Amino acid sequence: MASEPPHIGKPDRPRLPPVIGHRGAAARAPENTLAGFRRAKALGCAWVEFDVRLTADGVPVLCHDPRLDRTTDRTGQVAAQTLAAIRTSDAGSWFAPEFAGERIPTLEAALLLCTGFDLGANVEIKADRGGEYAIAAAVAMTLGRLGERCPRVLVSSFLPSALAAFRALAPQVPRGILFRLIPRGWEAVAIRLGCLVIGADHRRLRPRRIKAIRDAGYELAAYTVNDPVRARRLFDLGVASVFSDMPDIILAASAGRLATRPWRGKEPFGEAA
């Protein structure tokens, strides 16, 4: 039985499912779009992960890269363009013609869609250097404005400064710290930032580290897992969740094998509508 991390109390622990749709369902529909979340829901996801960045006029929108180039028909930095300009880009055609005209959604639109579809939302904060506080504040403000219309939420980031800022502004919202390689001092970082979830690149996760994280009472989520054999191995080792671009494959391969763990806490925002 895992012990509780020492800083437990606030916020409540998020109840993550074994499979989280990565950027929606990035191999099945254009990443970080509303169409992607609808597809993730249709494929059986209970939660989706997506990336947020700030526009030049301070609106949090969904985009993984600092630039629009890879995932839209436009070029340039997200942070250098207004929401109005960004909304004229096509975020679907690059993926497949059936998604032509798909727009980059605002964080607010994404969260409301998640609420409507009863999807949990893992909001990953991205920022250019120096922009960590501004995006953290914008995310906190958006969640606060939505209030009860918010879905179940986990806010995560690779950026400790963004998580520290977010914690100060919205301490009740569960947080996760992401690592590319989990450092020796991972637990001190988690305690300092009040994170209950550790996210890690599955390719650099070792069984001993998985056990230590689990034994210390943290949830461990591994990205990005598209191979069902690897997913099963990670679950067997104690990983709680995997982020997948093809959640249908992982869910199908894992059906019946995923242990249902007893839930000890409350939902962070109460049950989603």
Which of 40, 178, 240, 242 touches ligand G3P by CB under 6 A?
Answer: 178
243 binds, among Mg ion, ligand G3P, none (CB under 5 to 8 A by kind): ligand G3P
Which of the residues 217 through 256 are near ligand G3P (CB under 6 A)?
Answer: 223, 243
Least Å distance, CB 156 to ligand G3P, is: 6
Q: What is the largest CA-CA distance in the chain?
A: 52
Per the structure block, which two tokens stand in for 208? 């001993």
202 is catalytic: no
Q: How many angstroms separate the CA atoms of 26 and 124, rounded?
A: 15
Phi, psi (rounded to 5 degrees) for 15 = -90, 95
Which entry of 22, 23, 152, 167 is annotated as an active-site residue? 22
157: helix, strand or coil: strand
- Kindly identify the residues of this chain, within the stretch 5-34, that bind ligand G3P according to CB under 6 A: 22
64 annotated active-site: yes
> Measuring CA to CA, which residue among 201, 202, 232, 196 is closest to residue 214?
196
Q: How far is CA 210 from the centre of its chain?
A: 20
Alpha-carbon distance 117 to 148, whole Å?
15
Instruction: Compute the least distance from the CB of residue 142 to Mg ion, in Å.
Output: 17
262 CB-contact burial (10 Å; exposed 0-12 / middle 13-18 / buried 19+): exposed
223 binds, among Mg ion, ligand G3P, none (CB under 5 to 8 A by kind): ligand G3P
Comparison of 11 and 199: residue with beta carbon closer to ligand G3P: 199
CB atoms within 10 A of CB 55: 23
By CB under 5 A, name the one of 51, 102, 219, 245 that touches Mg ion: 51
Q: CB-side exposure of 19: number of CA atoms within 13 Å?
A: 29
| Helix (H/G/I), strand (E/B), else coil: 35 | helix
165: its two tokens: 């800022």
Q: Which residue is nearest to ligand G3P (CB)?
A: 223
Least Å distance, CB 5 to ligand G3P, is 20
Instruction: Give me the least distance between CB of 246 and ligand G3P, in Å please.
Output: 14
Q: Does 124 bind Mg ion (CB under 5 A)?
A: yes
Give the one entry of ligand G3P, Mg ion, none that residue 199 binds, where binding means its C-beta sits below a cut-off of 5 to 8 angstroms depending on kind.
ligand G3P
Q: Which of 250, 196, 246 is nearest to 221 (CA)?
A: 196
Catalytic residue among 8, 44, 56, 64: 64
Active-site residues, by number, are: 22, 64
**Which residues are near Mg ion by CB under 5 A?**
51, 124
**Which residues are near ligand G3P by CB under 6 A?**
22, 49, 51, 64, 124, 156, 178, 199, 223, 243
